[in-house]
Amino acid sequence: MKRAFGALVLVPALAASQPAPAAGQDAAHVFRGAYLLPISSPPIESGVLVVQGGAIVAVGGADLASPPGAVEHDLTGRVLMPGVVDSHSHVGSVSGGDRSSPLHPDVRALDSIDVASDSFWRARAGGITTVNVMPGSGHLMSGQTVYLKLRAGGRTVEDWLLCDDPLTDVCGGMKMANGTNSLREPPFPGTRARSAALVRGLYHEARAYVERQAGRADGDPPAARDLRMEALAEVLAGERIVQHHTHRHNDIATVLRLREEFGFRVVIQHGTEAWKLADELAAAGVPVSITSIDAPGGKEETIDWTLEAGAILERAGVDVAFNTDDFITDSRLLLRSAALAVRNGMSRAKALEALTLAPARMLGLADRVGSLEAGKDADFVVLSGDPFSVYATVQQTWVEGRLIFDRSNPEHRRYAVGGHDVYRTTAEEEAVLRRLLEGEGG
Amino acid sequence: MRGLLTAALVGGLAAPAAGQVAVRAGVLHTVAGAPIEDAVVVAAADGAIEWVGPAAEASVPAGVEVLEAAVVTPGLVDAHSVVGLAGALNSDVGQVRDQDQLDKSAPIQPELRAVDAYDAAETLVDWVRSYGVTTLHTGHGPGALISGQTMIVKTRGRTAEEATIVPARMLAATLGGAVSSNFRSPGTAAKGVAMLRAALLGARAYGEQVRRAEEAGQDAPAPPARDLAREALGRVLSGELSLLVTANTVTEIGAALRLRREFGFDLVLDGAAESYLLLDEIRAAGVPVVLHPPMSRVRNGSFETAAALAAAGIPFAIQTGFEGYVPKTRVLLWEAAIAAANGLGPERALAAVTLDAARILGIDERVGSIEVGKDADLALFDGDPFEYTTHICGVIIEAEVLSRECR
């Protein structure tokens, strides 16, 4: 019989005086003694993580020796896991396309990000280190998403990008949506079939563009730039992943049909009824990023929502992630979504992966983030206990070897618990954001 | 636990009455006192708790079903919700309209009865019961100066009549900007308070008119025509109904306390996001708080407000409130869990969704703790109820086993 109340014994707080390493420091940092969850390999009791130059140098058991001159961190009694990857969020005051069209492949979320937004503190306090910030679902295609790393001391969005140069590189995905959110007065579609027809027309236009570009000879005069077609060419080439808002089984089937026709890489976002198409999704190798709420409904197309979705998809062999969809759910509580999936039959291992390595794959970033492996970015979270316990708290969040959230610092702690004048984004402002993003009510 | 029930436990003299049920708990949180290890609760067929105590001393009539669970608590009491008036679809148009918690035709409508709108068959009633809520204070929602009346139901029954245990318990009032977003007037917070004061004064005058007419007997002028709105407000002035005032900011809480000082009604503060800034004033007024769900993103809200209220000695309960768009705060258990993990602790968090809620609602004679004579409303768990990974494995209302599968 499990013991009720107080079964979790918390260890004393971390020593407050440990130095925070800075980027570029030569010294290695060794985190020793925690229950280590590398994700890509089995858990390690009393594990050791060695970090240097922003990257992971080594992961091992208690016998792993520290490099000479390393700074030691005693994490006895703690849990250490990779930084959490949120594959669907609206933090940072993000915006996308406007009402002029239902299709905005040229619009970049990165041009709207407010790096000073307090919403990024929610994410840090929740252990999130990498986040896919998306424009909303009020359009069939609301724009290019942006993948951000919440590095210490960000001053512009460039400081947080996972690409080198937004002028030349793919720095995020392509946000698409179907179902009811994007149904509106013309020029927006009024039906589901019209939605699909508009999208197909655009992709055929892009395919023709790609063929024209391929047919150009070296001596031809330079073609006029086309920002819309350039972004869609990246999608057709599989370089820019489609992040597709979709809830209902028939809308999910439509996404699979579009993928079949155009061959793009796609992640099912929300996927409320993905559990009904688990076998089809598994066969197609299409992953699902679940937004976990706490009751069915909120609108007609989410009435068949279930907490068992994670378990059903796992059993079918579908790659599953959990996202916050922040402001829909709170970035401070993303671990909770995975915990509730475990309650409803998902394995602990897959639920942990669904917070880290699985979403990293869905963003095409698994070579850099999502697991504790030598050579990967030194992004990790230190917890006071079991990540799936409500009583466990995020003690520290580290990005590329630097501490970006420290619960023992009162200035940081207030972002974990809230309070007066902590968050500037109010419920009313979130309601406005909601209308902007989801296209609800004009 | 399962299968370990000893013969000694069974075999009382009385023959089992149909509908009787017993529960054996690894840990029984009666909430009325310290938890009891390996305890038994016997529920009588009439729905009341007949016996509570250690399993070693228990005597369960032969033939009575004995459910077993690692942890048993009282059925949860949600101190404020709109479930049953608001439905899962969150639709306010057409045939699937299921949003009846707020009528926007006028900002003050105390005559609206919750019983006339409660849908006992609503999906959400089953949903919240499946996570342990057996008693629900529901009714008209926030968003109007006075949106209507509230009621208390058990989360079962086919009709409002079958579900109801208190048909009218409070009037739901709201102060501040939330009202002005729904009505042309009041357009400001101060105007809203002025309108409420005028309405309460009007009800007082109406009540005096009625009383004078009754006292004067046959020589009296004709009594005033029935005024349902003023009658309902009069029940607040007489103390028969409480005024549940949704007030989140310091300004709004201050205005609520000021109104109470002027009219002397029984005030219950609802929401109370910034209550941690007015702990002394709220305690001095002796006013209870029905705290917003900790996970709702109310302005200046904190996960630690419940702990602050507890430390200040202010009576409080935790509610689920209402979020229509994308449900995030509908499971009371998980709201209390956030408070439990943020300074309140599990024992106090459990009280905030059982006995303390029942006290604020005035129904603690009947629900909120596991004591002989009280309703046999029980929630069964396979571990700490607040842990995300614990399952709820049974819900019992008045000895009726409404669910027994783990979820």
Q: How far is it, in rounded angstroms, from Cα A126 to Cα A84?
A: 8
Contact assignment for B325 to A298 by CB distance below 8 Å: yes
Inter-CA distances, B52 with B55, B214, B293, Å: 9, 50, 32
Direct distance between the N- and C-terminal alpha carbons of chain B, in angstroms, rounded to an integer: 18
Q: How far is it, in rounded angstroms, from Cα B385 to Cα B35?
A: 14
Closest CB to A420: pick one of B277, B342, B383: B277
For A81, the token pair is: 């896991």
Mean per-residue pLDDT of chain B: 94
Q: ∠ CA A138-A140-A141 to the nearest 5 degrees?
A: 100
| Distance in Å, alpha carbon of B28 to nearest chain A alpha carbon | 10
3-state DSSP assignment of residue B26: strand
Q: Which residue has the tokens 């800034």?
A: B277
Measured between beta carbons, the chain A residues lying within 8 angstroms of B29 are 4
Q: Between the CA atoms of A235, A236, A242 and A246, what dihedral angle is there, to the nearest 10 degrees?
A: 140
For B83, the token pair is: 């479930």
Q: How far is it, in rounded angstroms, from Cα B293 to Cα B155?
A: 20
Closest CB to B71: pick one of A4, A303, A428: A4
Closest CB to B303: pick one of A3, A296, A417: A417
- Contacts across the A-B interface (CB distance below 8 Å): 148
Compare all CA atoms of chain A with the CA of B86 and give the residue at the minimum distance. Answer: A298
Give the pLDDT of residue A8.
40
- Residue closest to B377 by CA, chosen among B30, B1, B85, B83: B30
Question: What number of helices (H) and strands (E) belong to chain B?
Answer: 11, 18
Q: How far is it, in rounded angstroms, from Cα A184 to Cα A316?
A: 35
Contact assignment for B300 to A421 by CB distance below 8 Å: yes
Give the pLDDT of residue A88.
98
| Distance in Å, alpha carbon of A336 to nearest chain B alpha carbon | 7
Measured between beta carbons, the chain A residues lying within 8 angstroms of B276 are 419-420
Closest CB to B327: pick one of A3, A297, A421: A297
Closest CB to B90: pick one of A298, A389, A426: A298
pLDDT bracket for residue B49 (50, 70, 90): very high
CA atoms within 13 A on the CB side of A299: 11
Measured between beta carbons, the chain A residues lying within 8 angstroms of B391 are 343
Give the pLDDT of residue A5.
60
Q: How far is it, in rounded angstroms, from Cα B142 to Cα B272?
A: 13
| Distance in Å, alpha carbon of B212 to nearest chain A alpha carbon | 47
Contact assignment for B303 to A421 by CB distance below 8 Å: no
pLDDT digits (tens, 9 = 90+) for B273-290: 999 999 999 999 999 999
Compare all CA atoms of chain A with the CA of B177 and give the residue at the minimum distance. Answer: A428
Q: How far is it, in rounded angstroms, from Cα B289 to Cα B267?
A: 9
Contact assignment for A427 to B299 by CB distance below 8 Å: yes
Measured between beta carbons, the chain B residues lying within 8 angstroms of A329 are 328
Contact assignment for A328 to B297 by CB distance below 8 Å: no
Sheet with strand B49-54: strands edge to edge: B49-54, B36-43, B21-28, B65-74, B378-381, B392-397, B400-403
Measured between beta carbons, the chain B residues lying within 8 angstroms of A427 are 296-299
Compare all CA atoms of chain B with the CA of A119 and give the residue at the minimum distance. Answer: B297
Measured between beta carbons, the chain A residues lying within 8 angstroms of B338 are 390
Which residues on neighbouring strands pair with residue A246, listed in sequence order? Answer: A270
Compare all CA atoms of chain A with the CA of B130 and give the residue at the minimum distance. Answer: A295
Q: Which residue has the tokens 């390690």?
A: A44
pLDDT bracket for residue B130 (50, 70, 90): very high
- Residue closest to B120 by CA, chosen among B71, B169, B76, B83: B83
B115 CA to centre of own chain: 15
Q: How far is it, in rounded angstroms, from Cα B172 to Cα B110?
A: 8
Give the pLDDT of residue A26.
76
Length of chain B (residues): 407
Give the pLDDT of residue A426.
60
Q: For domain B7-74+371-403, is the CATH number 3.60.20.10?
A: no
| Distance in Å, alpha carbon of B89 to nearest chain A alpha carbon | 5
Which of A8, A294, A301 has the most B C-beta neighbours within 10 Å, making it the best mutation to test the interface with B?
Answer: A294
For B313, the token pair is: 């000695």
Length of chain A (residues): 442
Which residues on neighbouring strands pair with residue B41, listed in sequence order? Answer: B23, B52
Give the pLDDT of residue B222.
79
Q: B190 Cβ partners below 8 Å, 6+ apart? A: none
**Mean pLDDT calculated for residue range B195-205:** 98
Task: Tell the burial category of B325 from Cβ atoms under 10 Å away from its Cβ (0-12, 13-18, 19+).
Answer: middle
Q: Which residue has the tokens 């009382």?
A: B12
Q: Do domains B7-74+371-403 and B77-361 have the same CATH topology?
A: no
Measured between beta carbons, the chain B residues lying within 8 angstroms of A322 are none
Q: B404 Cβ partners below 8 Å, 6+ apart? A: B67, B393, B394
Contact assignment for A333 to B295 by CB distance below 8 Å: yes
Closest CB to B89: pick one of A6, A300, A327: A300
Contact assignment for A390 to B388 by CB distance below 8 Å: yes
Measured between beta carbons, the chain B residues lying within 8 angstroms of A6 are 346
| Distance in Å, alpha carbon of B331 to nearest chain A alpha carbon | 7
Q: Spell out the domains of chain A, with CATH numbers in brackets.
A: 22-83+370-407 (2.30.40.10), 85-216+225-366 (3.20.20.140)
Q: How far is it, in rounded angstroms, from Cα A406 to Cα A276?
A: 41
| Distance in Å, alpha carbon of B154 to nearest chain A alpha carbon | 19
| Distance in Å, alpha carbon of A215 to nearest chain B alpha carbon | 48
Which of A3, A5, A8, A301 has the most B C-beta neighbours within 10 Å, making it the best mutation to test the interface with B?
Answer: A5
Using the predicted structure, report yes or no on whether residue B5 has a pLDDT greater than 80: no
| Distance in Å, alpha carbon of A332 to nearest chain B alpha carbon | 10
pLDDT, one tens digit for every residue, chain A (442 residues): 444 464 343 333 343 334 454 544 579 999 999 999 999 999 999 999 999 999 999 999 999 999 999 999 999 999 999 999 999 999 999 999 999 999 999 999 999 999 999 999 999 999 999 999 999 999 999 999 999 999 999 999 999 999 999 999 999 999 999 999 999 999 999 999 999 999 999 999 999 999 999 999 989 988 899 999 999 999 999 999 999 999 999 999 999 999 999 999 999 999 999 999 999 999 999 999 999 999 999 999 999 999 999 999 999 999 999 999 998 999 999 999 999 999 999 999 999 999 999 999 999 999 999 999 999 999 999 999 999 999 999 999 999 999 999 999 999 999 999 999 998 766 556 666 666 666 543 3
Q: ∠ CA B105-B266-B354 to the nearest 5 degrees?
A: 95
- DSSP letters, A81-137, are EEPEEEEEE-TTT-----TT-SB-TT-BGGGT--TT-THHHHHHHTTEEEEEE---S
Q: How far is it, in rounded angstroms, from Cα B275 to Cα B258?
A: 15
Closest CB to A427: pick one of B297, B327, B384: B297
Closest CB to A298: pick one of B27, B326, B382: B326
Compare all CA atoms of chain A with the CA of B301 and give the residue at the minimum distance. Answer: A419
Pairing of strands B316-318, B36-43: unpaired
| Distance in Å, alpha carbon of A231 to nearest chain B alpha carbon | 31
Contact assignment for A299 to B89 by CB distance below 8 Å: yes
Q: Are A206 and A236 in contact (CB under 8 A)?
A: yes
Measured between beta carbons, the chain A residues lying within 8 angstroms of B390 are 2, 343
B323: left (phi over 0), alpha (psi -120 to 50) or beta: beta
| Distance in Å, alpha carbon of A243 to nearest chain B alpha carbon | 20
Contact assignment for B384 to A303 by CB distance below 8 Å: no
Contact assignment for A390 to B382 by CB distance below 8 Å: no
Measured between beta carbons, the chain A residues lying within 8 angstroms of B308 are none
Measured between beta carbons, the chain B residues lying within 8 angstroms of A248 are none
Contact assignment for B89 to A420 by CB distance below 8 Å: no
Inter-CA distances, A262 with A59, A206, A207, A210, A247, Å: 41, 10, 8, 12, 21
| Distance in Å, alpha carbon of A318 to nearest chain B alpha carbon | 22
Return the axis-axis angle of helices A309-316 and A334-343, rounded to nearest 10°. 70
Q: Are A129 and A160 in contact (CB under 8 A)?
A: no
Task: Tell the burial category of A32 from Cβ atoms under 10 Å away from its Cβ (0-12, 13-18, 19+).
Answer: buried
Q: Are A183 and A193 in contact (CB under 8 A)?
A: no
Which of A305, A327, A407, A417 has the most B C-beta neighbours within 10 Å, making it the best mutation to test the interface with B?
Answer: A417
List the domain boundaries for chain B.
Answer: 7-74+371-403, 77-361
* DSSP H or E stretch at residue A142: strand A141-144
Helices (H), B176-271: 177-180, 189-216, 228-237, 250-263
**Single-letter amino acid code for the residue at A440:** E
| CATH code for residues B77-361 | 3.20.20.140
Closest CB to B331: pick one of A295, A330, A339: A295
Compare all CA atoms of chain A with the CA of B347 and give the residue at the minimum distance. Answer: A5
| Distance in Å, alpha carbon of A214 to nearest chain B alpha carbon | 45
